[in-house]
Structure 1
Amino acid sequence: MTGVHVAGVGMTPFVRIGGPVAYPDMVGTAVRAALADAGLEWRQVQRAAVGYVFQPSAAGQRALYDLGPTGIPVVNVSNNCATGSTALMLAREWIQGGQADVALAVGFEQMTRDALSGTASGVSTIDRHLAALGPPPTGGTPLTAWLFAQAAQEHMSTYGTTAADLARVAVKNHGHSTRNPLAQYRRPFTLDEVLADKPVAGPLTRSQCSPMSDGAAAAVLVSERLLGRVAGRPVRIAAQQLVTDEPDAFAGAAIDVVGSGMTRRAARAALAEAGAGIDDVDVVELHDCFSINELLTYEALGMCAPGESAALIRDGATGYGGRWVVNPSGGLISKGHPLGATGLAQCAELVWQLRGTAGDRQVPGCRLGLAHNLGLGGACVVTLYQAGSLN
């Protein structure tokens, strides 16, 4: 198998839904930026994986046609919130398998207000997850927010985690996003503001929940034999693992229902593939769709033992100056969460960090970055990105 490198990345600003920019224009902006970053041209791309959740079938082709129809294979990818990283994995596998030397992964979303409404009855992508926890709410509470609120209440009752601990995650990530010009929200929140914000579900308030967003992100991947022909500083994909649910997801524990088991298995496999441990990781972009999931992910990644994640956020271990810097971009909570684009936005952030070009939010001296992209229903992708060789 050939090594695979991210040669170029690009993304649009993540913005509130309902703006005037159509998805082909968003995709074009992100792809052109990634190609320019790599010093390559659109005609050199041999295959493309295009991820989205809420657009019509075959929207990937339409998203790319304005760049110029070249006849290359275009594969549409949908894996709920893990869509972007799944598209990235498909592009990586094409290069590893010798089917391409240049592959594009792009993800985008143009959402509507009823895109995430869902229903509590009938067959849906999360009906088994809902059934594992009993009757879901009525009255308009978003179903995913309700699921993560159940996990938050379970963690609080089991380990003594407090509402303030959950809110501290949001304070940290909103603070980080003030340094990110592409983030949807760029103002800091105090702890009191987060706690007093509009209730959404259980202990979760609005500023602890990822917003609906529009945006696109892209990555150009190349094989080792093309490294001498690209511009800039390519970053190697050191490892990548995709897993789906096992029986424990439906056994009735809310923490497992929302994907902690998937995260644990994907992280262990990815770290083993890279020959690294979590202590070797410097910077993390993880799937903080709700504040509780950042705490759950600390534990599932092995950053701490079960029940000890609140201590990490209280002690500042996951912010600038701490043991790891988690979500320097602002994370999903503050950067935004256009579902199909999220995993590739994580890729872009980590590439910038590992190149040392992240500007005001640069993590000093980082060499190994980890991205965690989770989709209920269910998929989890953990990717390790490496700059140089590990010590």
Structure 2
Amino acid sequence: MAPDGGDAMTDVIVAGAGMTRWGKWGRPFVEYGVEAATEALADAGVDWRDVQFVAAGETVRNGYAGYVAASTLARALGWSGAQIATAYGACTSGVMALDVARARILAGLCDIALVVGADTTPKGFLAPNAGDRPDDPDWLRFRLLGATNPAYFALAARRRMDLYDATADDFAAVKVKNARHGLANPRARYRKEVTAEDVLTSPVVSDPLHLLDICATSDGGAALVLMNEAKARQLAGTTRAVRIRGVASVTPAYPNTVLELPDMATDSSLVVPQPARSYMDSIGDAAYDQAGLGPDDVDLAEVYDLATALELDWYEHLGFCAPGEAEKLLRDGETAIGGRLPVNPSGGLACFGEAVPAQAIAQVCEIVWQLRGLAGARQVEGARVGITANKGLFGHGSAVVLST
């Protein structure tokens, strides 16, 4: 089980990707994780017993087995002596697990790692976890403001309307685009063309967002096999190499407001400077910096579209356009397949729904298939660089840059 050594390592290779079809079956999350892992291992041409390290995203809704997800999945695959780690960062859990596995390979502690996320979710929108956490800003917004996720998303949508004159028609257009993309994805839960009228006449959940503006909760699993370059070259079963160029798992920088405090002696003000870039901007920035690449290098993106308006925010946070220009990018067809920079060619969470520890890994799977040219009817032609982006509760943000 010890690493083989060999050539100096620069990038980590995604040698295998696997994903279940997403839906709502209510089976144990372990089944989804094993299915995804088995496919990823086969894709990489690797036997489970050759895996030296397993990193998994935690699922808090599935009892103790979910809290120790890496151990649970390692047992289900067959005890083999692999080392493990379980990561939790809400919707960024999958990338946190990937980051741990990547770091272990770069440190020379293993040659082959498996990253898995799987979830079984309840019906309806996700509720806050049990227990009192008065120092948790998300708990406070749930309990004191009554701002559950749909209400929170609606506040962001209203902000876009106030700042940039976005309209409900723009939000509906995001759903229409992603639904069209999802038609070509056999793993998507929802594979049905949607019109703007369908979105705008669906029930209002939290004004200005309608039911079809907000993603569902789903069951599903996704997995990746990572290798160092030397091992990837050795294995004839590996396909066209996709490299992890940058991984971000960032928290906000404070202060994020400007305080002006009068000095009674001098009548001057003390100004506490804001960060040069916002927290949401910093998520992509950190991954770009590691990769030595920038927004102009990106050919496609998979972003966190829990609600349609949030996708528009990501266009700006990832540097695809200036603030206030996301709606024009969408209206001009730039972010649809066939456009300059397709966003969510998989169909996004609009077509998959949330399976929390799996979704950030699923985004990476889609980029891998696109960069290999294996995405079928949803293929982004000539794709060479892709980025993913996610945001979780309590200040977790993640992004991954991959390239051929």
TM over 0.5: yes
Deviations 1:327-347 (A, max 9, x none): 000001112220110011111
- Distance in 1 of aligned mates of 2:134 and 2:19: 31
2:262 alignment partner in structure 1: none
- Is 1:105 matched up with 2:105? no
Decide whether the 8 Å contact of 1:296 with 1:309 is kept in 2: yes
- Is 1:246 matched up with 2:253? yes
1:383 alignment partner in structure 2: 400
2:55 alignment partner in structure 1: 49
| Structure 2 CA distance for partners of 1:36 and 1:274, relative to 1, 3 Å | same
2:242 alignment partner in structure 1: 235
- Higher radius of gyration, 1 or 2: 2
Decide whether the 8 Å contact of 2:124 with 2:217 is kept in 1: no
2:208 alignment partner in structure 1: 203
Q: Secondary structure at the match of 2:55?
A: strand
2:38 alignment partner in structure 1: 32
| Structure 2 CA distance for partners of 1:342 and 1:248, relative to 1, 3 Å | farther
How far did 1:269 drift? 2.3
Identity %: 38
- Distance in 2 of aligned mates of 1:191 and 1:121: 40
Q: TM-score, with normalisation over the residues of structure 1? A: 0.90
Q: How many residues align?
A: 373
Deviations 1:82-131 (A, max 9, x none): 11111111111110111111011100111123782227994168535855
2:21 alignment partner in structure 1: 13
Q: Identify the match of residue 189 of structure 2 among 168, 172, 184.
A: 184
Deviations 1:161-180 (A, max 9, x none): 11111111111111110000
| Structure 2 CA distance for partners of 1:125 and 1:181, relative to 1, 3 Å | farther
Within-5 A mapping of 1:207-286 = 207-230=212-235, 231=237, 232-247=239-254, 261-286=278-303
- Distance in 1 of aligned mates of 2:386 and 2:135: 30
Within-5 A mapping of 1:85-164 = 85-113=95-123, 116-118=126-128, 122-123=132-133, 127=137, 130=140, 135-137=144-146, 143-164=148-169
Q: Secondary structure at the match of 1:239?
A: strand
| Structure 2 CA distance for partners of 1:198 and 1:121, relative to 1, 3 Å | farther
Q: Identify the match of residue 390 of structure 2 among 345, 360, 373.
A: 373
Decide whether the 8 Å contact of 1:120 with 1:136 is kept in 2: no
| Structure 2 CA distance for partners of 1:134 and 1:246, relative to 1, 3 Å | farther
1:257 alignment partner in structure 2: none
Q: Which runs of 4+ in 1 moved over 6 A?
A: none
Decide whether the 8 Å contact of 1:51 with 1:108 is kept in 2: yes
Q: Identify the match of residue 85 of structure 2 among 75, 79, 93.
A: 75
- Letter of the 1:279 partner, please give it: D
| Structure 2 CA distance for partners of 1:44 and 1:119, relative to 1, 3 Å | closer
1:254 alignment partner in structure 2: none
- Letter of the 1:218 partner, please give it: A
Decide whether the 8 Å contact of 1:179 with 1:360 is kept in 2: yes
Q: TM-score, with normalisation over the residues of structure 2? A: 0.87
- Distance in 1 of aligned mates of 2:197 and 2:127: 29
- Distance in 2 of aligned mates of 1:184 and 1:191: 20
**Structure 1 portions without partners, runs of 5+:** 252-259
Q: RMSD of aligned C-alpha atoms?
A: 2.3
How far did 1:31 drift? 0.6
Decide whether the 8 Å contact of 2:37 with 2:222 is kept in 1: yes
- Distance in 2 of aligned mates of 1:84 and 1:124: 26
1:306 alignment partner in structure 2: 323
